[in-house]
Amino acid sequence: MTFRTLQDADLKGKTALVRVDFNVPMDDGKVTDDTRLRAALPTIALLSKAGAKTVLLAHFDRPKGKRVPSMSLLPVLDDLATLVGKPIAWADDCIGEPAMATIKAMKPGDVALLENVRYHAGEEKNDPAFAAELAKLADIYVNDAFSAAHRAHASTEGVAHLIPAYAGENMRKELEALELALGKPHRPVLGIVGGSKVSTKLDLLKNLVTKLDKLAIGGGMANTFLYAQGHDVGASYCEKDLAETARDIIRLAGQNNCKLFLPLDIVVSEQMAAGVPTRIRGLGEVDEHERILDAGPETVARLKRAMANSKTLIWNGPLGVFEIPPFQRGTMEAAWYAAQLCREGKLIAVAGGGDTVSALNAAGVAVDFTFVSTAGGAFLEWMEGKVLPGVEALKI
């Protein structure tokens, strides 16, 4: 993968239009999680130090091409200024005179934030005229929002073809990590795919079994595979209509020499609630009122052995209902062991997806992984082998 980075650019005296992801959680007009604001700081710092004007462009929520006051980006301004360590200029629109006037008043090294780009219908339509208006604002374009790179919008793809385009620091790190995980990985490569539904991850599973050496399937989706193999899953969540699809994926894995790991044993309970009694069952031992809610100890032990015998791990989705004790044990133990291998320099581990990030944070090991993506949909589409328009536009 070859893409343009800010290390390739002459930045002094330039105006950089930087697409960031500031679609942050808000409560009563206050930012409740500033992770995405912090993700933009390395790019802002690099541009400011180089003497460029940094003009930040982002979306918030889904105003659908209309000006919705409750979806303004203005509430993030103070938090961003605190993180950056200096005042941030504000423009009440992302194109036209308000944006132009704000940028004109800036000095080299200054930072500005433009109003919600989705206030304009041309954004999500990738309207060429709207992209051209955005391009008028700057000398160069910087995409630092991998999380929005799977959308072919004016601010993520259209404008990148009109002025010189570069990957920001957050985007660069994400792309380099993903290349390390699936593009040109150190082998053997082990994948872990969990979560509840096979139906939402069909493309993902079909792509991964052609790319990986080993794939472990966990969470609720493993129930569908167990059912497809003739095992009784009791009252567990199971997409029984996808049994043949599951068998197809098992066959595809065999054809591509991808070793598939399905549960050897499971943790069951009659209720999915905190503190309820649990039992460890072998396959085919589940009672009709019992639900499979976590991976069993033999399953986790085998997964840890697979990790120890791998060079690269890519992880998407928990092994059980980790949010509810006592069904977090399988996911936690696997996460702790992967983190240990990373710390010892024995494993490259890349993880992504909302539930996965939450699980790794709950286990206290997100910082130990080689890379943890917060990109959600873009991370999933990349794992599915799909082309991401926002990334394609940055390629040399």
User: 314 near 350, Cβ under 8 Å?
Assistant: yes
Residue 353 exposure: Cα atoms within 13 Å on the Cβ side? 22
Q: Is 268 helix (H, G, I), strand (E, B) or coil?
A: strand
Q: Is 350 helix (H, G, I), strand (E, B) or coil?
A: strand
- The sign of the torsion formed by the CA atoms of 166, 170, 175, 177 equals positive
Active site residue 36: yes
User: 312 near 299, Cβ under 8 Å?
Assistant: no
According to DSSP, the β-strands at 291-295 and 265-269 are antiparallel
Q: Tell me the CA distances in angstroms from 83 to 44, 77, 216, 291, 333, one per residue in order.
A: 11, 10, 40, 46, 34
The token duo for 312 is: 């690269």
Annotated catalytic residue: which of 65, 109, 354, 385?
354
Annotated catalytic residue: which of 65, 109, 376, 377?
377
Nearest to 361 by CA among 22, 40, 33: 33
Specify burial of residue 10 (Cβ count, 10 A radius: 0-12, 13-18, 19+).
exposed
The token duo for 92 is: 């009440």
Nearest to 89 by CA among 58, 56, 118: 56
Nearest to 20 by CA among 158, 171, 231: 171
Annotated catalytic residue: which of 197, 259, 311, 386?
197
- The sign of the torsion formed by the CA atoms of 308, 314, 320, 321 equals positive
Residue type, position 379, single letter: F
Nearest to 194 by CA among 223, 218, 216, 215: 218
Active site residue 377: yes
260's enclosing H/E stretch is strand 259-261
- The sign of the torsion formed by the CA atoms of 224, 225, 230, 234 equals negative
Backbone angles phi, psi at 54, to 5 degrees: -105, 115
Find the radius of gyration of the CA atoms of the chain: 23
Active-site residues, by number, are: 36, 197, 354, 377
